[in-house]
Amino acid sequence: MITLQDIEAARNRIAPLIRRTPVLYPTGLKEALPWERLVLKLECLQVTGSFKARGAMNRVLASKPEELRAGLVTASGGNHGLAVARTAYVTGVPATIFLPINVSPPKVEKLKEWGASVEIGGANFDEANQKALAFADQSGALYVHPYADPFVVAGQGTLGLDILEDVPDLDVILVAIGGGGLIGGLATAIKNLRPSVRVIGVEPEGAPTLHASLAAGHVVTLREITTTVATMAARRTDERLFEIVRRHVSEVVLISDEAMKEAARWLWFETGVSADLSGAAAIAALRSGQLDIPSNARVCALICGAG
């Protein structure tokens, strides 16, 4: 789907318009985790509040001018839509964002502030996405897939390059999974440059898209989505992303929505970091007791979205 060279090209392309987010080494914790060498990658401080800014920007900057004449369109649980809206504003093209009905109202308001047209409809991402695809067919707008476009995946993969530079002694990284674009891009970068690093995915119990596909040995479509976390609620991943995950990700763990809420509270109380539920997923997995990670390992929890 993508190569390390694609990710490096994406990094050069988007660098002037994307923030290099910091890392945090939490100390003096009241409720400490078993890993003293824990590090948080604060991608929640990225432009528009999540890693999605990387992929959206790479997709648009890599496009030909004629592809952008009718504007951009996408479907999103919120974070990808914000990234596309901001990218559209920066590049001077219109954007239309289709959202599921469970999207958070503050994200809708942010989309409008960036100047995007907002359409809300569909019980989940897949239904909103069908509306976005139909709009693209009718209008000629460039459809920006939230996770299965190679340029989007390469853009997300730039985060892996940053992390390896920020945390040179990295042993384990935990990554939230929605459709699979983030973990697909990040794992491609990390495993090509540092094969020894263990990449662990985290999914909601109510949307075990990659977990179920790995168990089946092929991509499956979930019969239903019960998680309330809109940014982690894809019913199906892309076959190419599935192959990346199968090759590069050591395991995918499942956590409850309540565990993510508790993890978000832990982050705010212990570190002053405000994360959305997907941004707290890595911490939720660490707090769950499911993971067999040596206590002396350098563990990176990716805080991928802001609260």
Is 39 a residue whose pLDDT tops 70? yes
- d(Cα 103, Cα 100) in Å, to the nearest integer? 6
| Same domain, residue pair 14 and 159 | yes
Q: Give the pLDDT score at 85.
A: 96
Beta-bridged to residue 97, according to DSSP, are 74, 118
As a whole number, mean pLDDT of residues 79-105 equals 92
Please write the tens of the pLDDT for every residue from 157-168: 999 999 999 999
Q: Tell me the pLDDT of the chain averaged across its residues.
A: 95
Cα torsion through 165, 267, 156, 203, rounded to 10: 120
Locus of tokens 């019980």: 123
User: Given pLDDT bands bounded at 50, 70 and 90, which one contains residue 125?
Assistant: confident
Q: Answer for the pair 197, 170: CB distance below 8 angstroms, yes or no.
A: yes
| Same domain, residue pair 131 and 164 | no
Q: Answer for the pair 279, 303: CB distance below 8 angstroms, yes or no.
A: yes
Please write the tens of the pLDDT for every residue from 270-289: 999 999 999 999 999 999 99
Domain that holds residue 138: 53-143
As a whole number, mean pLDDT of residues 229-247 equals 93
Q: Give the pLDDT score at 78.
A: 76
Residue 307: inside a domain? no
Q: Answer for the pair 162, 46: CB distance below 8 angstroms, yes or no.
A: no
| Same domain, residue pair 161 and 277 | yes
Locus of tokens 């993971």: 291
| Same domain, residue pair 89 and 176 | no
Nearest to 146 by CA among 219, 105, 87, 70: 87
| Same domain, residue pair 101 and 10 | no
| Same domain, residue pair 210 and 237 | yes
| Same domain, residue pair 43 and 74 | no
Decide which of 143, 165, 188 is a domain's last residue.
143
Is 75 a residue whose pLDDT tops 70? yes
- d(Cα 303, Cα 287) in Å, to the nearest integer? 14
Query: To the nearest whole percent, how much of the chain has pLDDT over 90?
Result: 88
As a whole number, mean pLDDT of residues 90-114 equals 89
Nearest to 297 by CA among 176, 175, 195, 173: 173
Is 104 a residue whose pLDDT tops 80? no
DSSP 203: E
Query: To the nearest whole percent, how much of the chain has pLDDT over 70?
Result: 100
Decide which of 143, 168, 186 is a domain's last residue.
143
Instruction: Among 56-65, 76-85, 210-219, 294-303, name the one with the lowest average pLDDT.
Output: 76-85
The CATH number given to whatever domain includes residue 216 is 3.40.50.1100
Q: Give the pLDDT score at 106.
A: 82
As a whole number, mean pLDDT of residues 72-82 equals 88
Beta-bridged to residue 118, according to DSSP, are 97
Instruction: Look at the chain and report how many structural domains it folds into.
Output: 2
Three-class SS state of 96: strand
Is 122 a residue whose pLDDT tops 90? no
- d(Cα 96, Cα 117) in Å, to the nearest integer? 5
Q: Answer for the pair 44, 279: CB distance below 8 angstroms, yes or no.
A: yes
Decide which of 111, 143, 175 is a domain's last residue.
143
- Angle in degrees, 0-180, between the axes of helices 181-193 and 239-248, rounded to the nearest 10: 40
Residue 241: inside a domain? yes
- d(Cα 230, Cα 232) in Å, to the nearest integer? 5
Question: How many C-beta atoms lie closer than 10 Å to residue 288's C-beta?
Answer: 16
As a whole number, mean pLDDT of residues 121-136 equals 87
Three-class SS state of 34: coil
Residue 124: inside a domain? yes
- d(Cα 207, Cα 227) in Å, to the nearest integer? 6
User: Given pLDDT bands bounded at 50, 70 and 90, which one contains residue 77?
Assistant: low
As a whole number, mean pLDDT of residues 85-113 equals 91
